[in-house]
Amino acid sequence: MENSESRFDFRCGGAKSENVDVVRGECYEKYMKQYNKFGFPMFGFVIINFVLIALVCAIYSQIVRFKVNQLSRGNRNGDQERQLLEQETASLTGNKLFIAYCSQLSIRIVLGVIFIILQTQLFYPLKFSSKFNCYLTDGTTQPRSSSDNAQNSTLHYCHNQRAEKKTFWMYAVLTVNGILVAGILVETVYLLSRACIERSFMQDSKFLTTHLNLNRLLDGRKFQEFIKSTKKIIVQETEELLELQSPFVGNPGDHSTAKNLTLDQIYTNLVVIQNRETHDFTENREEQLKVYPRSRDENSQPKSMQDLLDVESKKVLIVGRPGIGKTLCCIKLLRDWALNKDFKATSGAQVHFNAVFFVKFRRFNSADDLSLKELLMRSEYFPTHDMDDKIWNHLQKNPKGVLMLFDGFDEFEHDEKKTKASPYPKSIEDRKPLQILYQWLVTGKLLKDASIVTTTRPTALSGIAHLKFDKSFEILGFSTEQIKEYIDKFAGDDKEAGETLWRHISSNMNLLSLCYIPVNSFIMCSSLSEIVQFESSGSVTLPSELTTIYKIAVKVFYFKHTKEFRDKHFTRKNYLSHNLPLAVEEKFKKLGRVAFEGIQEGN
């Protein structure tokens, strides 16, 4: 304000037109001498005032930094270790921190009082007058007495347009200084009186925790350490998922090395639509096969998974057929969070989560009672065997930053998925079956503002029909364009192999219709790419009969997901041969009989 003030805002009357600037300039100088005795600019006074006070705080923080860090380490190591540390280190005892804190308070009080006195008694008046009588002689000296004014000088009535604003801001500076001094004085009196009553209050460790709120600082720091370790585990364990490992393993030294994929390398966005999709099937089988992998219109284009969540939609349901990518979507969300990729919806709204937990329903049984804390501790990728009280308290106080991903409601092992409405929990420590805890979370009875995402197959929707979700989505898998994108990513640098796979799959509607389900795309690419790799260039013959491809696919499924085989290594020969172990043949005959009879009965 002082810098922008111009003398042209100061106007004086009674001067001839050719002398206006001279009169205004001389009268302005007289005005400033009367209302700013030492010529010290107001902006300079304000800057020095608050910079000095801030400097005292900065110097104090540097002086006590070492001791605070020592005491902080003591608190983080636990009470017993802290006591040992204090016994071994003499510098951790005493009341130096209390003295330093009171000293900086005293200095700030003194500075505040000094600036109040300087402002009101020395530099500036409490009120700047807008009216000013200015006497100017025809020479350079002002009349010595008022009696000489009329004879030797001319009176000019001047007006300062900024006087009221200057008065307001100087009162504002005075008020701020007064409030600061009063507040610090009250705190100083409180500290001294408490120290007189309770001598131990002055001890460094107690003063730090009771008055300077070290516990709150440590809670936040401990929570950040917990989140950092959680993210590290998620990034490591989701880099190369078991589901993306190649079903074919070559011998050491062979060029037939396994082609394991990473989530970042292979993940392809899915077609996700709001609510549920309806299909109009015709009697023509060829037309039926075109329904699922067809190109989508603008209303059902692939959406970023971040679009599922926003500030208004905190309870979200995702429905999808088996193998459609529900679990992988959750893992991708989890990995993006761990890699610090902010969730930003197409609307532009940005959603930030401090903590994300991934819960798989199949890990739990309905007969087990557990608390919400125990549920979180049994979530996937949880970094420790226990949750510190500080971390647990932080989560309870900040539920808006919590995202919980519940995957596979259809895989929950209990007979009656639909649970009657339960009363409000007595406390957050209540131990109940998972279906009740889950219901409380979705209905907001626990962690009210937390975001909850649930995935399920359509067959299990009746079990959660009584729950209200802000939004529901259906994953439709891959469109034709996305199948091609997936194949290109699968082939990687081998562009020729990718083109061969796409040309073969896209020319066969039976194969293409299978690939809209991502897991089928993986199996199809895994199976056919082995043949492409070992056939001589230019003479690649890929199987087009569904029976042959089904045999390969069934083996891929069976060997990867059966306990007695999943940890064994199989080569391309095992998958492409027409023979199975005898024990396996007997199992498949039984399955075949069940399937045939089920078809006959329309079941």
pLDDT by residue (tens digit) across 447-475?
A: 988 999 999 998 888 888 889 999 898 88
Whole-number pLDDT of residue 181 = 92
CA 320 to each of CA 8, 133, 288, 409, 553: distance values in angstroms, whole numbers, following the listed order: 75, 86, 19, 11, 21
Q: Tokens for 556?
A: 């891929």
CA 342, 339, 375 angle in degrees (round to 5)?
A: 90
CA 381 to each of CA 4, 240, 331, 451, 454: distance values in angstroms, whole numbers, following the listed order: 60, 14, 11, 19, 18
* C-alpha closest to that of 378 among 407, 355, 402, 358: 358
Whole-number pLDDT of residue 217 = 59
Backbone angles phi, psi at 456, to 5 degrees: -160, 160
Whole-number pLDDT of residue 581 = 76
Whole-number pLDDT of residue 18 = 72
Whole-number pLDDT of residue 55 = 92
User: How many C-beta neighbours within 10 Å does residue 375 have?
Assistant: 20
Sheet strand arrangement including 355-360:
271-274, 471-477, 315-319, 451-456, 402-407, 355-360
Please enumerate in sequence order all residues whose Cβ is within 8 A of that of 77, keeping only pairs 6 or more positions apart, or say none.
85
Whole-number pLDDT of residue 437 = 92
> What distance lies between CA 290 and its chain's CA centroid?
40
CA 505 to each of CA 368, 510, 540, 545: distance values in angstroms, whole numbers, following the listed order: 47, 8, 14, 12
Separation of alpha carbons 28 and 32, rounded Å? 6
Separation of alpha carbons 235 and 341, rounded Å? 12
Q: Is there a contact between 409 and 456 (Cβ–Cβ < 8 Å)? A: yes
Please enumerate in sequence order all residues whose Cβ is within 8 A of that of 437, keeping only pairs 6 or more positions apart, or say none.
370, 371, 372, 375, 446
Task: State which H helix or E strand residue 360 sits in.
Answer: strand 355-360
Separation of alpha carbons 39 and 351, rounded Å? 53
119 - beta bridge partners?
Answer: none
Residues in the chain where the model's pLDDT stays below 50: 76-92, 140-144, 146, 149-150, 298, 302, 417
CB burial string 188-217: b at 16+ within 10 A, e below:
beebeeebeeeeebbbbbbbbbebeebeee
Per-residue DSSP letters for 206-241?
HHHHHTS-HHHHHHHHHHHHHHHHHHHHHHHHTTS-
In this structure, the dihedral spanned by the alpha carbons of residues 312, 317, 320 and 326, taken in order and rounded to 10 degrees, is 80
Q: Is there a contact between 161 and 78 (Cβ–Cβ < 8 Å)? A: no
Separation of alpha carbons 482 and 484, rounded Å? 5
